[in-house]
Amino acid sequence: MQTEILIIGAGLAGAYAAEKLGLAGRSVLIVEAKDHVGGRGYTRGFGNQAPMLEFGGSWITPWHPRMQDACRRHGVDLVPTVPVADRRWHDGAMLRSDGPVGRADRADYDRVIAAIVADAKRLKEGHDCDSSGAPLLAIALDEYMARHRSNRATDAQVMAWWTISGSGDPATVSAGEFLASCGYIDGTPEGMMQALTHTLSPGVSILVERMISASGAKLQLGFPVAKVEELADSVRVTARDGRSLEARGAIFALPFNVLRDIDFGGTISPQQQSAAHRGHDGRAVKLWLRLKGPRTGYLATGGLESLQWLFVPYQAEGGAVLAVGFGLDDGRWHPDRRSDVAAAVERLAPGAELVGWDWHDWCADPCARGTWLSAPARGADLTPQTWGLTGRLAFASSDIAPEAAGWFEGAMSSAEAAAAAMAEIL
């Protein structure tokens, strides 16, 4: 049978769309720019040796049923997250173990967190303003924090959690991103730790490989799509080296931030063109660090620079541990510079020996151009309505998902919608 549907991108969205279409008896070809599948789900060895770690996304929550089902179907285990055993707070000046901030700052912290809890609750209930009518979505996180007149110690805690919840520039990203992640549990930023309940073993990349192989779809690696054309009754995609493929419909299962690099000609609307040009603001840095000193279960947050969140989930060989750290790619530090990484470790885990570290630069990666979804407060249209079926093209990505946007689960919810949309064409 000739290929009926092309799927461009072999991340979770592409793999799940292939599974859905395979079940419906469709013939599918997946094309992928890289030499491996998984996309922003990226399982590989530390320094390309054991142990295998997640360099892209890693956690799922109890509210991610599609991911849980996929793991069950494909023999991937869900491993509970190691509980926090030792909690430290950096208030911007020093590391503390006596609470989120020193005693003197406690009142400020409690006041701001109470306001955040109330706003997160209102957002979850469907309001886009706080109780005084001030916006919660169409406002940047910096402006939102300024509204609370929070002090430096409180900011250090809020921003630390921001590096693993929203991850973009607080000057442009919507406060709603932060409040939505606070809303997962009890409205506090820290509640997020309880939401990140499981990781996958042997890993997200392996799950994607198994999904693709079970779908019956063909897979072509090393095919970076650069151009799209709609013909009378088909769609043609052309790779950077000029090779082209045709099918009756195509699902673009790509990171939102790479759409701007593809020549869609007149196949997408001016509104879609302009949203793709703006992109989203997700610019997190995730590092794996081999350390000597801290124990498993150690969590330190805060500091307002470079790494602002550090957690030790695993024991490693030779008395070392493996820690995961998050920060923002804000141009003020570089994770390739030993001095920057060592300073961050000294701040969040004083006395720890930095044995080595490893990371993947998602912002520089031309197949990602950013990390996970961080919606700007103004000027970018990432709604599933705007990215619905467009001629013979459908769009799927965690970045424009109808549910759980930004998560693995979102990639799957968007794939479900895109696969259903293909039925209209076929």
User: How far apart, in whole angstroms, are the C-alpha atoms of residue 59 and residue 324?
Assistant: 12
Stretch that binds ligand FAD, among 273-281, 287-295, 367-375, 384-392 (CB under 6 A): 367-375
Distances, alpha carbon 237 to alpha carbons 231, 272, 384, 421, in Å: 11, 18, 23, 19
Indicate whether 258 belongs to the interface with ligand FAD (CB under 6 A).
yes
Of 4-12, 113-121, 130-138, 313-321, the window that binds ligand FAD (rule: CB under 6 A) is 4-12
Show Cβ contacts of residue 12 under 8 Å, excluding neighbours closer than 6 positions.
38, 39, 41, 204, 207, 208, 211, 398, 408, 411, 412, 415
Q: Does 56 bind ligand FAD (CB under 6 A)?
A: yes
Q: Pick the stretch among 122-130, 304-312, 332-340, 400-408 that binds ligand FAD (CB under 6 A).
A: 400-408
Say which residues have a Cβ less than 8 Å from residue 330's Cβ, sequence separation at least 6.
169, 283
**Among the listed residues 144, 163, 154, the one whose alpha carbon sits nearest the alpha carbon of residue 310:** 163
Out of 3, 4, 26, 34, the only residue in the binding site for ligand FAD (CB under 6 A) is 34
Scan residues 270-309 and list those touching ligand FAD (CB under 6 A).
284, 286
Question: Which residues are CB-contacts of 266 (< 8 A; sequence separation ≥ 6)?
Answer: none
Q: Binding mask 13-32 vs ligand FAD (x if CB under 6 A, - otherwise)?
A: xx----------------xx
Output 31 or 112, the one with its CB closest to ligand FAD.
31
Among 408, 417, 422, 425, binds ligand FAD (CB under 6 A): 408
What percent helix, strand, coil does the chain show, rounded to 5? 35, 25, 40
User: Whole-number minimum distance, CB 367 to ligand FAD, in Å?
Assistant: 3
- Tell me how far, at minimum, the Cβ of 287 lies from ligand FAD, in Å: 10
In angstroms, rounded to a whole number, what is the distance separating the alpha carbons of residues 223 and 367? 11
> Strand runs (DSSP E) across 12-155, as ranges?
28-31, 43-46, 49-54, 77-80, 86-90, 95-96
What would the x/- binding string for ligand FAD be over residues 151 to 190, using CB under 6 A?
Answer: ----------------------------------------
- Please report, as residue ranges, which positions from 87 to 126 form the binding site for ligand FAD (by CB under 6 A): none
Q: Nearest approach, Cβ of 398 to ligand FAD (angstroms)?
A: 3
Which residue type occupies 343? A
- Cα–chain-centroid distance for residue 426? 32
For 116, 137, 179, 183, 335, the CA distances from 134, given in Å and listed in that order, are: 13, 10, 14, 18, 37
Per CB under 6 A, does 217 bind ligand FAD? no
Q: Which is nearer to ligand FAD, 127 or 359 (CB)?
A: 359
Q: Could you tell me which stretch among 51-59, 112-120, 185-193, 303-311 binds ligand FAD (CB under 6 A)?
A: 51-59
CA distance 277 to 7: 22
- What is the spatial distance between Cα 133 and Cα 49, in angstroms, rounded to a whole number? 54
Interaction between residue 398 and ligand FAD (CB under 6 A): yes
Tell me which residues touch ligand FAD (CB under 6 A). 8-14, 31-34, 39-41, 56-60, 224-225, 253-255, 258, 262, 284, 286, 362, 367-368, 371-372, 397-398, 406-408, 410-411
